[in-house]
Amino acid sequence: MSKRDVVFLPGRRALYERNRYSPAVKSNGFLFVSGQVGSREDGSPEPNLEKQVRLAFDNLNAVLKAAGCAFDDVVDVMAFIVDPESNFETIWKLVPEYWGDAPHPT
């Protein structure tokens, strides 16, 4: 069986331990990242949608960096969007800021 290495962010380990999950696990050459949300440093949600999306991407970036990876290494993304009909454009206009031009991850 492959060794699993848990990736924690400096200063946020207690937040993950309190919520009983790991931000990411490295195993057998792969990085598995847990869901990243638009939370502030104290774990509270950001009420502004655009700021919330930026925080989620910034949190993802921090996890990737802590694991020695970058957005270019991401091959699959799952996004959960509340009221996608109203919020899709607000969210998706930010994607190129983090992933550059298409093609984007699946």
pLDDT digits (tens, 9 = 90+) for 21-47: 788 999 999 999 998 888 887 778 899
- What's the pLDDT score for residue 15? 72
Percent of the chain beyond pLDDT 70? 98
Q: Is pLDDT of 13 > 90? A: no
* Within a domain: 36: yes
Q: Is residue 67 part of a domain?
A: yes
With respect to residue 105, please indicate whether it lies within any of the assigned structural domains: no
CATH number for the domain harbouring residue 33: 3.30.1330.40
Q: Which pLDDT score, from 0 to 100, does residue 1 have?
A: 57
- Please indicate, yes or no, if residue 25 is contained in any of the structural domains: yes
Number of domains in the chain: 1
Look at residue 106 and tell me if it is in a domain: no
| 24 vs 105 pLDDT, higher one | 24
User: pLDDT above 90 covers what percent of the chain?
Assistant: 43
| Integer angstrom CA distances of residue 101 from 60, 80, 105 | 18, 22, 11
Could you tell me the pTM of the whole model?
Answer: 0.84
| pLDDT for position 52 | 94
Residue 16 maps to a domain: yes
